[in-house]
Structures are given as structure tokens and as C-alpha cells.
Chain A
Amino acid sequence: EPEVTQTPSHQVTQMGQEVILRCVPISNHLYFYWYRQILGQKVEFLVSFYNNEISEKSEIFDDQFSVERPDGSNFTLKIRSTKLEDSAMYFCASSEYIGGWETQYFGPGTRLLVL
């Protein structure tokens, strides 16, 4: 069964450093998303991406965040200058638009720890 994959599974970085989180969505999916979950809290939407551009972004997704689909398979989230409060689990998701129905399938997540 096709699945969303994410790398790395864990990343530790120093405050102020840049990190790139990678995702490979399900191959025939057209919509891509990033969410984050601070430890013990709910899952929060960051950004959605369709047709090579951002469809929607939340207030969390400020100028330090960016997304890119550098090739036909990868979907990346870059955090330019990490802060302590960026420590969280980051989930990538993808969906295939079928006439209004949509199920987002999530990857296993990348746990980011900013020291």
C-alpha cells in the first residue's frame, strides 16, 4: 500500500540553524500539507501546497518557513533560523482530490528538537 515517507525521523539542531525536513508524498497525490504537533498538544496546520504554489498558510507559517517541491517526488519544509519553540513533531500529508472527497494521509513525522 502506498504511503507517505519522511526523513529524517529525528533531528536535533542548534537554535539559529537552518533545517530542511523532507517528505515523499504518495505518487498520484496532488495536494500536500505540513502540520506540526508540539509535544502533548494538538496537531496544527502549517501550509498547503498545490500546483507548485502555496494554497493556504497559517499564522504559524511566518517568513522563517518555506516549502518547495524541488522535483517530481519530494516536498520539503525549510525552517531558516530555528527557535526553541520550533521543537515539535512535523507531519507531512498528501491527498488526491476526487470530486470534493479528500482524505489526507500522513507520514510518520519528523521529531525536531531545537537546543
Chain B
Amino acid sequence: ETGVTQSPTHLIKTRGQQVTLRCSSQSGHNTVSWYQQALGQGPQFIFQYYREEENGRGNFPPRFSGLQFPNYSSELNVNALELDDSALYLCASSLVGAPTDTQYFGPGTRLTVL
């Protein structure tokens, strides 16, 4: 196991609601990245946080937002949920966020939007 934890494991929401997903990074890592993995697809990069600042963002709308806390844990918030937001949400921690760093993934949160 990587030491990266995510909560909750599963979540069911209805369209229009808001959701918060949580991630605790591996000890010693100060960078967290979030990914969305739709069924049958590879993960897609949402954004990265390094030392509490957003440090890169993929092609996701502003209703996807995040936070990183002083202990380097992180939250992903999604507002105005849509059916297409149903996916496995993965967080990954890395040492300093450099492109050469290995990212270590958590087990994911399965979000279902009805």
C-alpha cells in the first residue's frame, strides 16, 4: 500500500448537489494531484496542489475546486453535480510535484450522481 488514503470510499449524490472528497497524502509528500477516472477510461488530471497553492490544472470547469491544508492533506469539491461527474476520483501524492516525481495513488472514491 502507498500510504495515501481517501474518504469516503463510495458516495451517491443527486444532480445539482455539492460533494467534498478528502485525501491524506503519504508521509513526507507535500504535493497532491487529483484525477477523474470515468468507467473504461484512463485517469484525467484535474489539478495539483503544492504547498497549499494550485500548481497546474487540467481541462475541468471552475465548479471543480480544491484545497490543500498545512498538513498537506487535500479536498476536492465539486459543485452543481452533473450525471457525467459519476466516476472514480483518485488522488496521488508526490514528494515535491516535479514532473519527474513518482505519484503514489490512493484507492479512490467512487462517486455516483443520480
Are A and B co-members of a single complex?
Answer: no
